[in-house]
């Protein structure tokens, strides 16, 4: 039985400050038997494993890769998760619809999964322009009768995911699987694709180096359970573990 589910994004959250990461790894190692550790990343599993090697990341219990479109739990795919993702998901139809959009370029094949369709914007957009682009895209999907989550990150990355996918839904699924209460869950992130997990009914922690699209959203939504840390990268996670009523 675990006492805490710790779900963290990798790039610019767990990874970015090597001394701070080394300190956090030490803390996590001493608490390892009490914590279920999950890496939730936009990267593919191969890309995430490569980063694990380069940055000496601990071996986690779970890998939620491709923005929560794939879940590997203690080395095995989770069959229930895959069944949930298949509902209302019409990837070929979405791809055909977006093939006419000149502002979008497909990301490389390594970043595409059966449950993730990813593009780069040919021109980055921030703030109001980014929100308008997202709204326009959602309206087009609605008109075409297609369901998908639209996830916009770092001004230029766009992911379309099944309605049931994402870092927030994967956290909810794991919380249930482990039989933990929301106050036994901590999610940490820095960018747009972390929003769904930072908006959940559990503890959320936004690093001080968070991207503008996440800060914009936080300024409007201000969920009670979300902390905006004064610390960057892994230092924010260490500080959260020390100060939040978690363990």
Binding site for Mg ion (CB under 5 A): 9, 11-12, 190-191
Of ligand GLC, Mg ion, none, which one sits near residue 9, judging by CB under 5 to 8 A according to partner kind? Mg ion
Using CA atoms, how far apart are residues 182 and 59, in angstroms rounded to an integer?
24
Piece in contact with ligand GLC (CB under 6 A), picked from 27-35, 130-138, 151-159, 214-222: 151-159
Nearer to Mg ion, 61 or 190 (CB): 190
Q: Which CB sits closer to Mg ion, 78 or 190?
A: 190
Say how far apart CA 155 and CA 138 lie, in whole Å. 17
Binding test (CB under 6 A) with ligand GLC, winner from 111, 155, 207, 214: 111
Residue window 59-88: x/- pattern of binding to ligand GLC, with contact defined by CB under 6 A: --------x---------------------
> Which residue number has the CB closest to ligand GLC?
42
Of 144, 103, 153, give the one whose Cα is nearest residue 123: 103
| Shortest reach from residue 50's CB to ligand GLC, in Å | 12
- Please tell me the distance from the alpha carbon of residue 193 to that of residue 90, in angstroms, as a whole number: 21
Query: Could you tell me the CA-to-CA distances from 15 to 62, 111, 190, 210, 233 in Å, in that order?
Result: 17, 20, 11, 13, 6
Residues 6+ apart with CB under 8 A from 61: 36, 37, 38, 73, 74
- Out of ligand GLC, Mg ion, none, what residue 171 binds, judged by CB under 5 to 8 A for its kind, is none
Tokens linked to 102? 């000149």
Interacting residues with ligand GLC (CB under 6 A):
42-43, 67, 107, 111, 118, 153, 157, 159, 193
């Amino acid at each position: 039985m675990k006492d805490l589910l710790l779900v963290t994004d990798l790039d610019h959250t767990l990874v970015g400050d090597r001394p701070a990461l080394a300190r956090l790894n030490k803390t996590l190692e001493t608490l390892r038997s009490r914590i279920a550790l999950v890496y939730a990343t936009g990267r593919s599993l191969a890309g995430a494993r490569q980063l694990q090697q380069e940055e000496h990341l601990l071996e986690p219990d779970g890998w939620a890769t491709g923005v929560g479109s794939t879940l590997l739990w203690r080395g095995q795919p989770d069959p229930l998760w895959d069944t949930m993702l298949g509902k209302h998901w019409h990837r070929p139809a979405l791809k055909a619809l977006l093939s006419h959009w000149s502002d979008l370029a497909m990301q490389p094949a390594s970043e595409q999964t059966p449950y993730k369709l990813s593009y780069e914007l040919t021109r980055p957009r921030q703030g109001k322009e980014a929100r308008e682009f997202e709204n326009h895209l959602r309206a087009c999907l609605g008109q075409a009768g297609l369901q998908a989550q639209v996830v916009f990150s770092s001004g230029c990355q766009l992911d379309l995911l099944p309605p049931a996918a994402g870092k927030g839904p994967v956290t909810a699924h794991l919380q249930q699987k482990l039989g933990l209460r929301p106050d036994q869950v901590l999610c940490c992130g820095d960018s747009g694709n972390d929003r769904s997990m930072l908006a959940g009914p559990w503890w959320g922690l936004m690093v001080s180096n968070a991207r503008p699209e996440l800060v914009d959203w936080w300024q409007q939504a201000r969920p009670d359970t979300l902390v905006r840390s004064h610390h960057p990268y892994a230092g924010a996670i260490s500080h959260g573990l020390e100060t939040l009523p978690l363990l």
